[in-house]
A = this chain, B = another copy of it.
């Protein structure tokens, strides 16, 4: 049986499209950051060695996190500049074991899929280690990604980016879950591409194209879940994936559940969490350690991480709320809150367009359709939202922004901006009546 490939986890990509959400690798979808959670899953599947490609910003955190993973051997390398996936792999090369015919399994930290995909990839490789493998996500409808061109014999002859709905060469979309049976050969091909004077940063794709001519690449089809953290609202997709893994009711012994509180369905209640009288947690739902669900509050289909206060009469529905957020008598709907957000009494994240169309959001100046019927707000770390603020569907609010009382937030608010409304009032003295 072929040796298990060395896992390469790409975790150094820029997150600018995720603004105001920071650092995908470190996002927690239960007790552990995504990167740790992913590595543990790989380990359980039999991977023994991994190389994580970090960037200068997250490398220290990543080193700290990967130190926890045992017994897997995890090395961390840094990609100094965002020069594409080929460059990332070249940074990983020196960290690979010095064995002949080392095979590698290239994955991205922010692709969240079922274990089935990875085990099918491993099985295919172990059955025939002479080939390389690419996961092909089967879907009928068109998706603007890379499509696999597959010969009748099952060999992949090329990948075509965004062919358009009428020119799909197959129903197989490429996921970055690639087994290369000879890392050295791949690295050589990559170096050759970087030596060329081509300015596009698709070196990895070009290298694969060349390799496919001489070496067999085979498809491993996949029909399970695939959630990628590309846009900030994808946090909700990944959250839902993790929520779907909660089975039954787990209530920590140190948690307090009031007699008139209600837990429904699949629910996780963390250490020292408190669910107060009249409150309800409706699964699938995750309540983190030291979080309080106040009197008559409702949390449903959501994650509220640690040290949060879900205050009196607050509703958190289909939302992701990170650590140390404070909410009070408000409505958090289909939204993503970074750590430390204060969302005051009377606030609402409006989540539905009047015309009931899908909600769009600006990403790096471009309007992007989220494809979601319901989408609330995406709020950055330590933002302070004063009383009676409403945010329009799809709006984003930056880190440390401050929104004054009664403001209707129709547009994105940048990091650190203060927005407030000046209301004109009329004052009449009694004597004038």
Instruction: Report which A residues bind B (CB closer than 8 A).
Output: 258, 260, 262, 264, 276-278, 280, 282, 295-296, 298, 312-313, 315, 317, 328-329, 331, 333, 344-346, 348, 350, 352, 354, 384, 386-388, 390, 392, 400, 402, 404-408, 413-431, 433
Of B298, B329, B422, B427, which one neighbours A417 at CB under 8 angstroms? B427
Known: A258-B262, A280-B296, A331-B345. 10 other contacts (CB 8 A): A262-B277, A262-B295, A278-B278, A278-B280, A296-B298, A328-B331, A345-B348, A408-B425, A419-B425, A419-B426
Chain B hits for A429, CB < 8 A: 414, 416-418
- For A400, A406, A428, the residue with the greatest tally of chain B CB atoms inside 10 Å of its CB is A406
Chain B hits for A423, CB < 8 A: 407-408, 421
Among all A-B residue pairs, the 9 with the closest Cβ atoms:
A416-B430, A262-B277, A418-B428, A350-B387, A345-B348, A331-B345, A295-B298, A408-B423, A348-B387
Give CA–CA (A392, B417) in the complex, Å.
21
Q: Kindly report how many copies of this chain are found in the complex they form together.
A: 3
Given contacts A280-B277, A315-B313, contact A350 B430 (CB under 8 A): no
Chain B hits for A413, CB < 8 A: 427
- For A331, A414, A422, the residue with the greatest tally of chain B CB atoms inside 10 Å of its CB is A331
Contact A388 B348 (CB under 8 A): yes
Given contacts A313-B296, A354-B386, A354-B402, contact A421 B425 (CB under 8 A): yes
Chain B hits for A345, CB < 8 A: 331, 333, 348, 350
| Distance (whole angstroms) from the CB of A72 to the closest CB of chain B | 42
Chain B hits for A431, CB < 8 A: 416
Chain B hits for A419, CB < 8 A: 425-428
| Distance (whole angstroms) from the CB of A304 to the closest CB of chain B | 16
Chain B hits for A331, CB < 8 A: 328-329, 345-346
Chain B hits for A262, CB < 8 A: 258, 260, 277-278, 295
Contact A390 B388 (CB under 8 A): yes
| Distance (whole angstroms) from the CB of A344 to the closest CB of chain B | 7
Give CA–CA (A276, B279) in the complex, Å.
12
Contact A426 B430 (CB under 8 A): no
Contact A386 B425 (CB under 8 A): no
